[in-house]
Structure 1
């Protein structure tokens, strides 16, 4: 299993666009209904800091996400937007959970 947490801060002007782009990723993932991908994103109280928390069954499932057209659009626009704080990526390890994950 691969668990990824990414946090970054956009400009206030770009935050609504980013939310729309993230909604596009979620829509495409729901349509795909891939059993090896769990994807979520939260907006922090400042209204411009985003935290993505994703769980993948394996690296191949992570690549499925990054190859989606909606993800490519999100990624390109995010980097071109003039971020206030660049993405910080952390790989996490599951210790315990009430939720059942992959295999």
Structure 2
């Protein structure tokens, strides 16, 4: 299993557009096999920090998810919006959960 947390801050004027872009790729993800991955996005109480939490059964589904055209478009728009150095990627070892993640 692959577990990743990505966090970043956007400019306040980009928050609404970023939310729409996220909604767009999450809708696209619904057409994929959701038994093989989980993808959630959160907005911090500061109103500008987004956190993406993803769990993948294996590299194959991770590649499929991350190469979805709407996700690639989201990334480009997000990066072009002028991110600061807040972008952080963490790969985590799964230990356990109260629910079955995948």
Q: TM-score if structure 2 supplies the norm length?
A: 0.93
In structure 2, stretches of 5+ residues that fail to align are none
The equivalent of 1:28 in structure 2 is 28
Compare 4-13 and 81-90 and name the one that shifted more.
81-90
Conservation of the 8 A alpha-carbon contact between 2:38 and 2:101: no
Alignment of 1:52 with 2:57, yes or no, is no
SS at 2:89 equivalent: strand
**CA RMSD across the alignment:** 1.2
Distance in 2, matches of 1:96 and 1:75, equals: 30
Separation of aligned partners in 2, 1:76 and 1:42: 19
What is the CA-CA distance between 1:15 and the residue it aligns to?
1.0
C-alpha separation in 2, matches of 1:35 and 1:77: 28
The alpha-carbon deviation at position 80 of structure 1 amounts to 0.5
